[in-house]
């Protein structure tokens, strides 16, 4: 009997919303998103995996968001607003959106997007609709705090809430009331953005469901320090009482990506405080995700069993230490709130017996990453012939990896010897297709490849270089770049390896 947490056997493509084509600088929930769903359908795919969809902050990382609940206003499709009579074409076309079709110019998008959305607000009568009132009621837990937080950020020249005046930083009752009145127009704007984000996504997801495409979402395990969540619920995080600065921050110890480890900077949860209120924040977070996705990948899942705590103010993560996480106390809550939504555990890194037991007890599929498999050891757990269970998701690579072409294009024949032996070829041009065949032919229930690898692109299309700022999260599809040839290739693999 199929485990209720098990994903249906199939295949999918990882493509962030930002990477969709559009005429206005960044991917949206518009025409190209619907066309991508059509592409997946024609390619015999069952899954579309996206990256986190929250509003991004400095550095543009989807894993550092101003809110664990809100949506990124960049994804609101301007052409849809034009069709609804809220904008004229010139309202968007008069701005510069970048000069490279294949890359997001975040500076230009940041400078101009909100100007256009404010123009749309001027023509909107959404406040008079029952749909808007229902939206406000259903999202009351986070919406009011998030919109006030964003309005205050504007008031304080986009500084972190830790640099705001003390009365509003500490959320004194009189200050909250005063700023709500002072900034009511700004609050209205941010409500407008969230309303249209969720309205457009709801329609897109319904179209995906109609076409038989399931959407896999993604959430970072931690909240960003500069976020509405930490500002509005400081008692749930390990902050000092005097200044609300983090006592400890998240990261990982030195690993294959960095000799000094990764210092993420997120404040760590006060798990005892969360347990006292029955994990309400997490309950609402998972319930919110259930309304957006068919399956949810939880990034850095291993932090649920034990987490790496680095003292606040540290320059790198080498001074950190591991602490025990909430374990089954949290996964019980996740299961209760997830309902029919499947959970995928990003179990990469140092996987302890406790992590393996937690996955097994909950029936969550873990991850295998083909790009991690070629260290010269035929017993490497990321190689498809070593998968011990079908209840896993096999990735060619993740957003943090080189593309498959980039990973192997400049290696010597000596380094590639085992890869050649595994694939039964010495022709470099056959490597990427061979890796697709390895994954598709495995016992893994689900196989997911990045769109860049479907296209065979080199590292100029890489999404992210961990522990670096600048140049990340920018790659985009060009219009028509994924076409019949790529759909035919994927459909062929789906047929050969029975992934319908």
Which of the residues 346, 347, 402, 453 is marked catalytic? 346
Residues 6 or more apart whose CB falls under 8 angstroms from that of 6 comprise 342, 363, 365, 391, 445
The Cα diameter of the chain in Å comes to 72
Q: Is 108 a catalytic residue?
A: no
Q: Is 38 a catalytic residue?
A: no
Per residue, what are the HEC states of the chain? CCCCCCCCCEEEEECCHHHCCCCCCCCCCCHHHHHHHHHHHHCCCCEEECCCCCCECCCCCCCCECCCCCCCHHHCCHHHHHHCCCCCHHHHHCCCCCCCCCECCHHHHHHHHHHHHHHHHHCCCHHHCHHHHHHHHHCHHHHHHHHHHHHHHHHCCCCCHHHCCHHHHCCCHHHHHHHHHHCHHHHHHHHHHHHHHHHHHHHHHHHHHHCCCEEEEEECCCCCCCCHHHHHCHHHECECCCCCCECEEEEECCCCCCCCCEEEEEECECHHHHHHCCCHHHHHHHHHHHCCCCEEEECCHHHHCEEEEEECCCCCHHHCEEEECCCHHHHHHHHHHHCCCEEEECCCCCCCHHHHHHHHHHCCCEEEEHHHCCCCCCCCCCCHHHCCCCCEEEECCCCCCCCHHHHHCCCCCCCCHHHHHHHCCCCHHHHHHHHHHHHHCCCCCEEEEEHHHHCCCCHHHCCCCCCCCCCCCCECCCCCCCCHHHHHHHHHHHHHCCCC
Q: Which residues pair with 249 in a beta bridge?
A: 267, 310
Q: Name which of 328, 324, 244, 245 is nearest 279 in CA terms.
A: 328
Burial grade of 315 (CB within 10 A; 0-12, 13-18, 19 or more): exposed
Which of the residues 77, 145, 299, 453 is marked catalytic? 299
How far is residue 241's CA from residue 259's CA, in Å, rounded to a whole number? 33
Name the CATH topology of 10-496. Answer: TIM Barrel (3.20.20)
Neighbours of 141 (CB within 10 A): 17
Which of the residues 108, 167, 400, 433 is marked catalytic? 400
Res 1: pLDDT: 30
Q: Which residues pair with 49 in a beta bridge?
A: 14, 216
Q: Is 421 a catalytic residue?
A: no
Burial grade of 126 (CB within 10 A; 0-12, 13-18, 19 or more): middle
Res 3: pLDDT: 47
Q: What is the pLDDT along the chain (500 residues), one digit of tens a residue?
A: 334 778 999 999 999 999 999 999 999 999 999 999 999 999 999 999 999 999 998 899 999 999 999 999 999 999 999 999 999 999 999 999 999 999 999 999 999 999 999 999 999 999 999 999 999 999 999 999 999 999 999 999 999 999 999 999 999 999 999 999 999 999 999 999 999 999 999 999 999 999 999 999 999 999 999 999 999 999 999 999 999 999 999 988 887 667 888 888 999 999 999 999 999 999 999 999 999 999 999 999 999 999 999 999 998 999 999 999 999 999 999 999 999 999 999 999 888 899 999 999 999 999 999 999 998 899 999 999 999 999 999 999 999 999 999 999 888 998 899 999 999 999 999 999 999 999 999 999 999 999 999 999 999 999 999 878 788 999 999 999 999 999 999 999 999 999 98
């Amino acid at each position: 009997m199929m485990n209720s947490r098990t994903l249906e056997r199939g295949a999918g493509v990882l493509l962030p919303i930002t990477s969709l084509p559009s005429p206005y600088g960044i991917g949206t929930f518009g025409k190209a998103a619907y066309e991508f769903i059509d592409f997946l359908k024609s390619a015999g795919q069952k899954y579309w995996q996206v990256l986190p969809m929250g509003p991004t902050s400095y550095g543009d990382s989807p894993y550092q968001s101003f809110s664990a609940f809100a949506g990124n206003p960049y994804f609101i499709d301007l052409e849809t607003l034009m069709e609804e009579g809220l904008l004229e074409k010139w309202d968007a076309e008069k701005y510069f959106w970048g000069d490279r079709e294949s890359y997001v110019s975040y500076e230009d998008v940041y400078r101009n997007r909100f100007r256009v959305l404010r123009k749309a607000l001027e023509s909107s009568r959404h406040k008079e609709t029952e749909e808007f009132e229902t939206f406000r009621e259903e999202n009351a837990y986070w919406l009011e705090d998030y919109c006030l937080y964003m309005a205050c950020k504007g008031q304080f020249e986009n500084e972190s809430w830790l640099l705001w005046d003390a009365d509003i930083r500490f959320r004194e009752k009189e200050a909250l009331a005063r700023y709500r009145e002072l900034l009511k127009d700004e609050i209205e704007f941010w409500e407008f953005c969230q309303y249209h984000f969720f309205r457009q996504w709801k329609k897109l997801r319904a179209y995906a469901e109609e076409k038989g495409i399931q959407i896999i979402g993604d959430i970072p395990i931690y909240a960003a320090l500069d976020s509405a969540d930490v500002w509005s619920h400081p008692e749930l995080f390990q902050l000092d009482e005097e200044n609300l600065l983090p006592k400890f921050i998240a990261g990982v110890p030195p690993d294959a990506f960095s000799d000094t480890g990764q210092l993420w900077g997120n404040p760590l949860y006060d798990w005892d405080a969360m347990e006292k209120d029955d994990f309400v924040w997490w309950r609402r977070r998972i319930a919110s995700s259930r309304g957006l996705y068919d399956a949810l990948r939880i990034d850095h899942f291993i932090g649920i069993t034990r987490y790496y705590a680095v003292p606040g103010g540290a320059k790198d993560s080498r001074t950190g230490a591991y602490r025990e996480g909430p374990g089954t106390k949290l996964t019980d809550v996740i299961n209760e709130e997830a309902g029919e939504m499947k959970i995928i555990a990003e179990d990469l890194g140092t996987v302890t017996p406790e992590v393996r037991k937690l996955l097994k007890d909950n029936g969550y599929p873990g991850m295998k990453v083909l790009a991690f498999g070629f260290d010269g050891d035929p017993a490497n757990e990321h190689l498809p012939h070593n998968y011990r269970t079908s209840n896993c998701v096999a990735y060619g690579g993740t957003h943090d990896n080189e593309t498959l072409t980039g990973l192997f294009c400049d290696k010597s024949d000596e380094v590639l010897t085992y890869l050649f032996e595994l694939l039964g070829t010495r022709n470099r041009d056959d490597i990427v297709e061979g890796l697709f065949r390895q994954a598709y032919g495995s016992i893994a229930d689900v196989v997911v490849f990045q769109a860049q690898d479907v296209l065979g692109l080199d590292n100029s299309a890489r999404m992210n270089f961990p522990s670096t700022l600048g140049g990340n999260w920018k790659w985009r599809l060009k219009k028509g770049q994924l076409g019949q040839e790529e759909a035919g290739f994927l459909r062929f693999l789906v047929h050969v390896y029975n992934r319908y």
